[in-house]
Amino acid sequence: MKESIIYQISHIYRDDYRIRAFTFGQGEKSLCIVGSIRGNEYQQIFLCSRMIRRLKKLEEEGRFAEGHEVMVIPSLNPASMNIGKRFWGIDNTDINRMFPGYPLGETTQRIAAGVFEVINKYNNGIQFTSFYMPGDFQPYVQMIRTGYEDPERAKDFGMPYIVVRDPRPYDTTTLNYNWQIWETDAYSLYSGTTTHLCPESADMAADAIERFMICRGILKGTPAPAAPGRIFHYDDLLNVRTTRAGLYQNLAKDSAKVSAGQVLAEITDPCTGEILETLKSSADGIIFFQYNDPLIYAFTSAFKILADE
């Protein structure tokens, strides 16, 4: 394992801003793994730390195939994580809306440009990303539809779900989208949580990446058996939305499998405790996403249900 600084900004008042990378193997640039880009993505940097420990052990055991290099970047935004902010601390911009970057632009544009210059040379790219809403979700692999994506190849991870999503306008400035445009086989991997640590889903993601590396010839060995991944479009998810705001009590925490009409959550008046709304499943299936903050607004998607095939 080799540790290096792939990007650095000098600071006149504090220590320099540095982005660290850890490299394994030697040869063709086969795989780059990027962890947290936002400052609250604790599960994502946690997953990277476990991945680095695993890759170090695999390298020591001689499991890397000859002629392959793997790079892991735990965080692109350690400064925001240090102060507990999701976005860049000075101007509240999102680094994952700045790719491929601009070396003469604002700070976050320069960071994106400096990092992308290094990582766009890799054949495969995996980003540990977070959901845009507070909540927990089923671990899955996502690909943005750019014309370069091949969902069948995502089955190499052995994860149960593969989601394809049409790009929105802002996606054209994300890491995943630009990786694909620059001909990197790119995947976004969601490991279940964001702001709290979940070792079980982190280990599932690490197992999936190890299996992916074996299937792609980066590691020696036989891939572990895995169920065929279910491929579906993001728009196939059924939203269970609120019509009232209030205190939110999730009643479906212990079961991912639900039936049509099953009670999922209640919204109560913060002062009187009166039940304002009861949320129910709209179909038989699994809970793919569930909101988990104690307060909820009206017209919020509290659950996303993946209906049975």
Task: List, for residues 236-271, the tens digit of each pLDDT value.
Answer: 999 999 999 999 999 987 668 999 999 999 999 999
pLDDT-derived band at 309, boundaries 50, 70, 90: confident
pLDDT averaged over every residue in the chain: 94
Domains parsed from the chain with CATH numbers: 2-233 (3.40.630.10), 237-307 (2.40.50.100)
Helices (H) and strands (E) in the chain, counts: 5, 17
Q: Is the pLDDT of residue 64 over 70?
A: yes
How many Cα atoms sit within 13 Å of 134 on the Cβ side?
11
Q: Is the pLDDT of residue 16 over 90?
A: no
Q: Is the pLDDT of residue 28 over 70?
A: yes
Max intra-chain CA distance, the chain: 67
Complete DSSP assignment for 10-71 = --SSSPPEEEEEEEEEEEEEEEEEEEE-STT-HHHHHHHHHHHHHHHHHHHTT-BPTEEEEE
Percent of the chain with pLDDT over 90: 84
User: Could you report the per-residue pLDDT of 145-193, keeping only the tens digit for each?
Assistant: 999 999 999 999 999 999 999 999 989 999 999 999 999 999 999 988 8
Mean pLDDT of 54-74: 97
Q: Are 288 and 301 in contact (CB under 8 A)?
A: no
Rg (CA), the chain: 20
Instruction: Return the closest-CA partner of residue 30 out of 160, 155, 209, 173.
Output: 209
pTM over 0.95: no
Q: Is the pLDDT of residue 106 over 80?
A: yes
pLDDT-derived band at 94, boundaries 50, 70, 90: very high
Q: pLDDT value at position 255?
A: 67
Q: Is the pLDDT of residue 290 over 90?
A: yes
